[in-house]
């Protein structure tokens, strides 16, 4: 796990657990507000999907290079002989080249165990979250639902599936950031 986050050229110290937890809460709060705004204003879900991917790329990491969590797939995040693109240099969102030994991007056994455990917890939560649309579909055929429920069933299904997609793409990294103790920065 990285101890600092590079965001638009500024280095943010994320070695303390408190700061990482604040970051996780802020990411999910922003995603929740955007999801509610998307439902209310009927904005296309493709934009929301790209916002989730951007949050993973800039802050969380894991599936994408960048962010605080190391890559899950043990592939090199950047080849040292290839400079970052000009746009990334201008925006100052590039990642530094891996360490001198060239292997600092690899996960060790402890990190692999933490990664596997976080995915186990995350996919249990996603399974439970996927039961909500199933329960709603069973209730939908009842005719005595309250009249105050003004959203169409398609909008509710779509919203629930967007929540599940958000959890699928962000929850393992959030669990890792939330549970990791304070890091020693030498």
Tens digit of each residue's pLDDT (9 = 90 or more) over 47-77 = 888 888 888 888 888 777 777 887 777 655 5
Question: Is the Cα dihedral 7, 14, 82, 57 positive or negative?
Answer: negative
Model confidence pLDDT, tens digit, residues 96-127? 554 444 556 567 777 788 888 888 999 998 99
From 42-51, 81-90, 175-184, the region with the lowest mean pLDDT: 81-90
Cα–chain-centroid distance for residue 128?
18
Exposed / middle / buried, residue 110 (Cβ in 10 Å: 0-12, 13-18, 19+): exposed
Residue with tokens 């638009």: 8
**Over pLDDT 70: what percentage of the chain?**
71
- 3-state SS, residue 102: coil
Phi-psi region of 79 (alpha: psi -120 to 50; beta: other; left: phi over 0): beta
Prediction pTM value: 0.72
**Is residue 29's pLDDT more than 90?**
yes
């Amino acid at each position: 796990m990285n101890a600092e986050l590079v965001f638009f050229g500024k280095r943010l110290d994320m070695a303390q657990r408190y700061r990482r937890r604040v970051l996780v809460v802020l990411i999910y709060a922003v995603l929740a507000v955007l999801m509610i705004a998307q439902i209310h204003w009927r904005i296309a879900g493709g934009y929301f999907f790209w916002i989730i991917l951007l949050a993973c790329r800039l802050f969380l990491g894991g599936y994408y290079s960048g962010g605080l969590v190391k890559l899950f797939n043990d592939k090199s995040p950047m080849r040292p002989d290839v400079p970052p693109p000009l746009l990334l240099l201008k925006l100052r969102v590039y990642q530094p080249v891996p360490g001198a030994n060239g292997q600092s991007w690899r996960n060790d056994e402890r990190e692999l165990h933490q990664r596997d455990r976080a995915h186990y917890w995350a996919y249990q939560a996603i399974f439970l979250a996927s039961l909500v649309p199933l329960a709603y579909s069973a209730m939908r055929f009842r005719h005595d639902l309250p009249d105050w429920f003004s959203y169409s069933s398609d909008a509710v299904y779509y919203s629930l599936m967007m929540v599940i997609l958000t959890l699928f793409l962000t929850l393992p990294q959030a669990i890792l950031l939330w549970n990791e103790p304070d890091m020693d920065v030498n």
